[in-house]
Amino acid sequence: MAKVRCAWFDFTSCEGCQIEMTNFGAPFLQLLDHVEIVEFREVMKETTDEPIDIAFIEGSFSREEDRARLESIRERAGVVIAFGACAATGGINALKNHMDMDDYKKCVYGDDSNMPHLDTQKAMPISAAIKVDMAINGCPMSRDEFVRIVTQVIHGTEKVYVPSYPVCVECKLRETVCRYEEGDHCLGPIALAGCGAPCPADGIPCEACRGMVVDANQESMEKVLQENGGMSEKRAKDKSRMFTANFRSDA
């Protein structure tokens, strides 16, 4: 069986999901028995103009000028996978989406903020620019999920299974004490699962880095954050901007 030609590309992101590729250890070398890496700027000089079987795209679509590059990757690739939260949902970059552009530019660049080349737009998932076949979600992406999804794609699966239930289910399965029981707060009730709920197990709240479940009851979540999580009304209302700004009813 011919090796699957894979390439990695990056847009507005921290490139942490690509770095996760170097954290497999020895199994990474086994992966190379099945996969040929044909382009990956962060670790290699080689590039390709030939068709690609799987394109992994990290990063949000946050500049109109990036659209052409995304389209050219789409044209060359059989399967496009949104690689990590930024590409899949807009991720942390969308935390500024509700802010006024002049305001956040001035905050960061001060007197230089009116330079014309500083223009940017709302941070969106790459699906706002091109057709995306599937996503490996999370901030950072889950290495276990990467192996599972890529294995299925290599075997010709057209649709991979990803959970549709909230993170609370995974906390119950691994017997993690609820953050609310610990006097904390958590977005677990509306957060899309699939990660295995590592954050509450490590003693911090779930920030919903994989996005929200379908039909998440956001009003009820705000109420829980106030009544059970001790938050002010303002903080409860702003809470879900961190990773899920593009899922909010006001997005």
Partner 1 sequence: MTTQNASIKVKHVTRVEGHGNIVVDVKNGTVETCEWRVPEAPRFFEAMVRGRHYSEVARITSRICGICSVGHTLASVKATESALGMTVSKQTDLLRRLLKHGENFDSHIVHVLFLVAPDLLGAPSVFPLLETHPDVVTKAVLLKKLGCDWASLISGRSTHPTKVVPGGFASLPGDAYNPRMAEDELKKLKKMILDAVPMVTDMYEVLLSLAGNIPAFTRETEYVALVDDVEYGLYDGKISCLMPDGARETIEVEDYKSVTNEWVSPLSTAKYTKHNMDSYAACALARINTNYDQLHPEAKKIAEGLGFAVPCFNPYMNSVAQFIEAVHSAYMAVGYIDELLEMGIKDEKPVEPTKFSKGASAVEVPRGLLFHEYAYDEEGLCTEGNCIIPTNQNHANIQLDFDKLVPELLEADKSEAEIELALEMLVRSYDPCISCSTHYLDVTFKK
Does 29 interact with partner 1 (rule: CB under 8 A)? yes
Does 12 interact with partner 1 (rule: CB under 8 A)? yes
- Interaction mask 168-187, partner 1, x per CB under 8 A: --------------------
Does 226 interact with partner 1 (rule: CB under 8 A)? no
DSSP single-letter state for residue 68: H
Give the residue from 78, 95, 84 showing the smallest Cα distance to 38.
Answer: 78
Give the residue from 7, 71, 13 showing the smallest Cα distance to 41.
Answer: 7
In what helix (H) or strand (E) does residue 65 lie, and over which residues does it extend? none
DSSP single-letter state for residue 3: P
CB 167 within 8 A of CB 176: no
Q: In terms of C-beta density within 10 A (0-12 exposed, 13-18 middle, 19 or more buried), how is residue 50 classed?
A: exposed
Does 155 interact with partner 1 (rule: CB under 8 A)? no
**Min CB(131)–partner 1 separation in Å:** 22
Cα–Cα separations (whole angstroms), residue 38 to 5, 65, 103, 233: 6, 24, 41, 50
Give the residue from 142, 197, 207, 135 showing the smallest Cα distance to 165.
Answer: 197
- DSSP bridge partners of 83: 136
Which of 75, 112 has the CB closer to partner 1? 112
Does 20 interact with partner 1 (rule: CB under 8 A)? yes
Chosen residue from 1, 26, 155, 159 binding partner 1 by CB under 8 A:
26
* Side chain identity, residue 13: S
Size of the site for partner 1 (CB under 8 A): 62
Chosen residue from 22, 151, 157, 220 binding partner 1 by CB under 8 A:
22
Give the residue from 168, 164, 162, 200 showing the smallest Cα distance to 184.
Answer: 200
Chosen residue from 3, 34, 63, 223 binding partner 1 by CB under 8 A:
63
Chosen residue from 105, 122, 136, 193 binding partner 1 by CB under 8 A:
105
Does 28 interact with partner 1 (rule: CB under 8 A)? yes
Does 166 interact with partner 1 (rule: CB under 8 A)? no
* Binding positions for partner 1, rule: CB under 8 A: 10-20, 22-26, 28-29, 32, 37, 40-46, 62-63, 65-66, 91-93, 95-96, 99, 103-105, 107-109, 112, 115, 117-120, 139-140, 198-199, 201-204, 207, 232, 235, 238, 242
